Amino acid sequence: MTLPVPDTIRAADGAEAQIYAQGAHLIRWRSASGAEPLFLSQRSAFTAGTAIRGGVPVIFPQFAAEGPLTKHGFARTAVWQRQPDNEPGAACWQLRDSAATRAAWPHAFWCELRLRIGGERLDVALSVHNPGDQALRFTAALHTYLRVDDIGAARLHGLQQHRYRDSAHGGIERVDADESLAIVGEVDRIYFDTPAALRLSQPGGALRIEQQGFCDTVVWNPGPAKGAALADLEPDGDRHLLCVEAAVVGRPVSLAPGAHWQGSQTLIIGG
């Protein structure tokens, strides 16, 4: 079944965003100046129950295959409920446990995804609350797909001297020695305890990527071979995307009954 039309959020200065209720999935962000920094594959299925290849998938309660659940958890394909808005350029969706989520993951929880746009800035915040009487343990990510003009000319700055797990090479752990990260072939790395701000530079301009609450950062590009094997990615799509994911993976969150956790990612064009 094709997804219903996504909601459009508008700020007073002309910034605009489109979000599907499925996954509270931001698929498009146009800044006030007209820049569109997010990648979205036109070959995405856009059908109920299928993950979308692009934008900002919300990964919860399990990152990748870091546990027994379906890859990347169920939040990205669950239908979230939009909450009443009280200001232009901002919106909030909520996901609560249901019979379907409890069948996969037997816990009471509620999540909120808050979005704010304006000027050249996007803020996305995920919060998780534990209303139950047992501790909740989860991993999570904002799996942001950034659009790049040419992956060969893009550089990610800020990860030097940080430890990472190289998922594209058997999960070996290394320390990044390079001043900036250039993407050559498949790159699939979980960087641990990363700085609060990274910078993506390209000949066309720079993007500042901030995160709070999320202690790790995942950097992913499928490279040409795995990219060609992804049915929902257009030919050469790997040359035009770079995922820089605010994540919490290395030390899963443990939420006591009644406790609350929040993590956010901010993109600032030109930063």
Ligand X SMILES: O=P(O)(O)OC[C@H]1O[C@@H](O)[C@H](O)[C@@H](O)[C@@H]1O
Active site residues: 143, 245
Looking at the Cβ atoms of 167 and 201, the one nearer to ligand X is 167
For the CB of residue 59, give the shortest distance to ligand X in the complex, in Å.
7
Nearer to ligand X, 9 or 52 (CB): 52
CB-CB contact of 39 with 54 (8 Å):
yes
**Separation CA 16–CA 10 (nearest Å):** 5
| Integer Cα distance of 148 and 221 in angstroms | 11
Q: Which amino acid, one-letter code, is at 45?
A: A
Sheet holding 16-20, edge to edge: 7-10, 16-20, 25-30
Q: Name beta bridge partners: 113.
A: 93, 126
Binding positions for ligand X, rule: CB under 6 A: 51, 64, 71-72, 143, 167, 188, 218, 220, 245
How many residues in the chain?
271
Closer to ligand X by CB, 111 or 190: give it: 190
The answer to whether the beta carbons of residues 121 and 255 sit under 8 Å apart is: no
The minimum distance between CB 118 and ligand X, in angstroms, equals: 28
- By C-beta, is 117 or 190 nearer to ligand X? 190
Least gap, CB of 83 to ligand X (angstroms): 26
Closer residue to ligand X, CB minimum distance, 57 or 118: 57
Shortest reach from residue 145's CB to ligand X, in Å? 9
Nearest-approach distance from CB 116 to ligand X, in angstroms: 24
User: Which is it for the CA torsion 82, 87, 88, 90, positive or negative?
Assistant: negative
Residue among 191 and 261 whose Cβ is closer to ligand X: 191
Q: How far is the CB of 226 from ligand X (least distance, A)?
A: 8
